[in-house]
Structure formats: C-alpha cells, structure tokens
Amino acid sequence: MSELTEEGEAFTELVLEVFRLNGLALAAGDRLTEPMGLSSARWQVLGVVEHAPAPVANVARLMGLSRQGVQQTADALERDGFIEYLENPHHRRAKLISMTAKGREALRRVEGRHALWANQLGAEMNPRQLRAVVNGLKQARQLLEKDASASDEE
C-alpha cells in the first residue's frame, strides 16, 4: 500500500475541504434562492443560459455537472415557467434552454440577495487571501481535468 507524501496529504486535505465547502455553499444557495422558487441547481442553470440559449449538454459541460442532472433541472424549470425550450438550428434533437421573463426576474432577485450575502461574508476575509485561494482552486481543478482527460484516453 502506498503512503501519502506531504504533497499528497495536502492535496487530500484540499479535496476534503472542497467537499465540505460545496455542501455548505449549496445549502446557502438554496436559502438564497428559495423565496424565488429556485434552488442552487436551478440557479446554476439559469446563470448559464442568462447570456444566451444553450443545449443541456453545453450547460452540463460548463458547470461540470451530469447531462442527465441538468436535463432534470431544466425540465423542472420549464414546468415552473422559468425557461422554455427552443429549436436548435445546429441540432435537430438537442433543444436550446432559453430563459423566460419569469426566469430573468427570479435571477435578478437572486443576484441582489447574493450580492448582499457575498459582500457581508467577503468583508470578513482579506481580498488578497481570497484571490490566492481562488487561484489555488483553479490550479487544482485544471490538474483534475488533465487527470480525467488522461484517464479517458486510456
């Protein structure tokens, strides 16, 4: 059995901390979005298609989520009137997710609540330290993406 190096131990601690942070961030997102009839998952999808209509597969890829999970979320958003499906000129079967006026209004309200929340919590940390953490997380994500690509090629 292999032993963890100091670097391996630090990377493992990072991954475990990200798992904990993810759970807390999703719960906070659910609290921020609940008054608008949304959830963290719904917020993520709306945030992607806010800029332009996109197929489910593109949303999933961009957010690092499963296509099936995004499809279920999009279907729920459509049932509740936050998005609509449009014909995709580039693909006959893969419809585009497009925001409705109701979706835009809900997203604007969530963004306002998010700004207050993020400003309050962000004020309790050093901005330089926060940016260093973000850069470290980006580097870890890129390493994991590289590792996943190498695994896919095997």
- The domain limits of the chain are 6-123
Q: Does residue 49 contact residue 91 with C-beta atoms inside 8 Å?
A: no
Alpha-carbon distance 136 to 120, whole Å? 23
Tokens matching residue 136:
């470290």
Q: Consecutive sets of 10 residues in the chain, 154 residues long: mean pLDDT of each?
A: 93 96 96 96 95 94 92 97 93 91 97 97 95 96 90 77
Fold topology of 6-123: Arc Repressor Mutant, subunit A (1.10.10)
Number of H helices, E strands in the chain: 6, 3
Question: What is the per-residue pLDDT for 30?
Answer: 97
Tell me, what's the pLDDT at 148?
A: 87
What separation in angstroms does the CA of 57 have from each of 3, 11, 42, 101? 39, 30, 15, 23
Cβ neighbours of residue 109 closer than 8 Å, sequence gap 6 or more: 35, 36
